[in-house]
Structure 1
Amino acid sequence: MSNSVYFRPAAASEVSTGILLMFLSVLVSPIIDIFSKLAIATIPAAEITAARFVVQALCMLPIVIWRGSWKTFSWRANVFHAIRGAIITISMVSFVTTLKYMPVADAIAIFFVEPIILTILSSIFLKETIGWRRYTACGVGFFGAMLIIQPSFQEVGYVALLPVVSALCIAIFALMTRVLSHREDPWAMQLQMGIWGLLFCAIVLAFGSGTGSDVFDAVMPDGRGYLYLLGVGVTAAIAGIFGVYAYRAAPASTLAPLQYFEIVSATFFAWLVFGDFPDAVKWLGILIIIASGLYIIWRERRFASKPVSDTPQSALAP
């Protein structure tokens, strides 16, 4: 699939379809984290991440073969895919580890500083013009994140910063994806990301074997654990596929604001399964993050030559 499908003019019916598919994607995405939080009680974070990569690769492989995208694979590009695989592995392991100690909604809300970090990195590395208004919105967004991090930091310590590490990794990953997406098929990129991510997970799990680490020392899951791992992988694949077709039907700049609905759906599912619900201060932080992110997207759509949010979310961690 050519990258041009993300930017071609779309009919009104296609845009409506894209919005619906993106809505379904962000509705399903928090279920990935619900299954991850259930699994992390007995299964190391790196093992959960590896299971996600296995299912993702298995889902992408037949599509890549059917589309013939494997013909475009090159050893030179594999260097970049290997780096992307390492970065996404760090991001996922960091975020899944967070879920062992923090409520799902809090972790996701902190993670959503990613568009803010991406805006700043794009101005530095891609030389995109970012005005003072968007820099101010970035600062306000980080303040909102601190409203969530500060009480969590008192409760769980430095673990509260892991969603920021995850967001930073995803922002770097997005920059690389934007460069590669001009010449590579997104389905093939998803497959290669899964393969390289699985390889890095296998390496860290091998080194972590026997250490007793609750992050890197693999265990044999029980029956329920296997169901949780399967749930992580399947829901990640479904959310990713919904995302791919959403961006195929509608412009990324139209769909980007819908990503923030994930915080709302995550709060609902976390309350339903774990009984977690953010307090007033955390809700204030969540609303500030959402408002600053939406403002950044609005400014990008109005003034930027190419919005940083136009990286297809489906090409990121699903």
Structure 2
Amino acid sequence: MSNRQPSPPVSASSEVMMGLVLMSLSVLVSPIIDIFSKLAIATVPSAEITAARFAVQALCMLPIVLWRRNLMDTTWKQSFFHAIRGAIITVSMISFVTTLKYMPVADAIAIFFVEPIILTILSSLFLKETIGWRRYTACAVGFAGAILIIQPSFQEVGYVALLPVVSAVCIAISAMMNRALAQREDPWVMQFHMGLWGLLICVIILVLGHGSGSDVFDPVMPDTRASLYLLGVGVTAAIAGILGVYAYRSAPASTLAPLQYFEIVSATLFAWLVFGDFPDAIKWLGIFIIMGSGFYIIWRERRFASKPVSDTSQSTRAP
């Protein structure tokens, strides 16, 4: 009698393949958000770019949540959590977009990708997930890779080089909150409410920052070109988010997670084509170390059949 395992149904295999294709497209589109953000940041403050992203994303998702007829299926307690998530994501986005004014896109994204490592540690501390010494070692190695990228950038731009780490911490905290909410709430509604709260918070920040002269908080009237950049940020963010949602519906998060790291490669390509930026050898070494540690963490999670702590399928990556 043969011990060969039966092949998965064709439909299941097709679903997984569709998930891989959609995630690949999402990874390809996501760096374009950062390209538009970097183009806009020359004349538009970070908070205004973040507000534009929230506004366009919310408008793109509104027809979907209305069609699904569950827009109001949210309790006051859930609304409170959405408000907190909106605030956290706002801090993350403003931090990351501000970084793009002073750092190349690829460098900022590479530093940001310590997020799965931070999430691993936070999950151990606050969610009491069992994390072995091997994954802690992988986290340490990943942080060492980030230091290789941060150190020369820190010498060039100062503390701004640490803002992608702030962004990564915020996204990791948001991802942990998403786990609790995702068990009982529609992901489209979650994203829509978070976008509304984020937009409201950005508007308050911009009102308070009006006249301050800050290149982060003082709003300006964008010209036609800057307006197109802002529209590009919101539209590409909405497209990447929708592709990601459907990708995670078609395939397991543990299958799709490694593809997220290829965003560094596509970001490097786009940044080189648009701005002429290309990482040097030391930064490439740091990028490969971060990617290697991330792949190892994902591999360990899949091996032990646990829900990946790096699963951020319901979170919103910084621009």
TM-score over 0.5 for the pair: yes
Structure 1 partner of 2:66: 65
Q: Is the 8 A contact 2:117 2:310 kept in 1?
A: no
Pairwise CA distance, 1:228: 0.2
CA 1:10–1:198 in 2, change beyond 3 Å: closer, same or farther? farther
Q: Which residue of 2 aligns with 1:144?
A: 145
Matched, 1:42 2:43: yes
Q: Which residue of 2 aligns with 1:6?
A: none
2:12 counterpart residue number: 11
Runs (4+) of structure 1 exceeding 6 A deviation are: none
2:57 is the counterpart of 1:56? yes
| Other-structure match for 1:164 | 165
CA deviations on 1:249-292 (whole Å, 9 max, x unpaired) are: 10111000000010000000000000000000000000000000
CA distance in 1, matches of 2:82, 2:192: 10
Displacement of 1:26:
0.5
Could you tell me which residue of structure 2 aligns to residue 316 of structure 1?
316
Which residue of structure 2 aligns with residue 296 of structure 1?
297
Deviation at residue 52 of structure 1 after TM alignment: 0.1
Q: State how far apart, in whole Å, the 1-side matches of 2:40 and 2:235 are.
A: 14
The one-letter code sitting in structure 2 at the alignment partner of 1:22 is: M
SS in structure 1 opposite 2:71? helix
Return the alpha-carbon distance in structure 2 between the equivalents of residues 10 and 151 of structure 1: 49
Between 1:74-83 and 1:25-34, the stretch displaced more is: 74-83
Residue segments in structure 1 that go unaligned for 5+ positions in a row: 1-8
Question: How many Å apart are 1:60 and its aligned residue?
Answer: 1.0
State the match for 2:178 in structure 1: 177
Normalized against structure 2, the TM-score is what? 0.95
**Residue 66 of structure 1 aligns to which amino acid in structure 2?**
W
What is the Cα-based RMSD across aligned positions, in Å? 1.2
Deviation, structure 1 residue 70: 1.1
Report what 2:231 is aligned to. 230
Q: Residues 40-60 of structure 1, C-alpha deviation per residue, up to 9 Å, x if partnerless?
A: 000000000000000011011
Task: Give the distance between the partners of 2:292 and 2:12, measured in 1 at CA.
Answer: 28
- After superposition, the C-alpha distances for 1:167-199 in whole angstroms (9 at most, x for unaligned) are 000000000011100000000001001000001
Kindly state the Cα deviation for residue 311 of structure 1 after the two structures are TM-superposed. 3.6
Q: Is the 8 A contact 1:104 1:270 kept in 2?
A: yes
Tell me the secondary structure at the aligned position of residue 72 of structure 2: helix
Q: Would the aligned equivalents of 2:171 and 2:315 in 1 still touch at CA under 8 Å?
A: no
Contact 2:104 2:277 in 1 (8 A): yes
TM-score normalized by the length of structure 1: 0.95
Q: What CA distance in whole angstroms lies between the structure 1 residues aligned with 2:252 and 2:105?
A: 29
Q: Counterpart amino acid of 1:94?
A: S
State yes or no: 1:286 paired with 2:287: yes
CA–CA distance in structure 2, aligned partners of residues 102 and 24 of structure 1: 25
Question: Are positions 1:29 and 2:5 aligned together?
Answer: no
Q: Is the 8 A contact 1:129 1:304 kept in 2?
A: no
For these two proteins, the number of residue pairs brought into alignment is 309
Larger Rg: 2
| Cα pair distance change 1:288/1:10, threshold 3 Å | farther
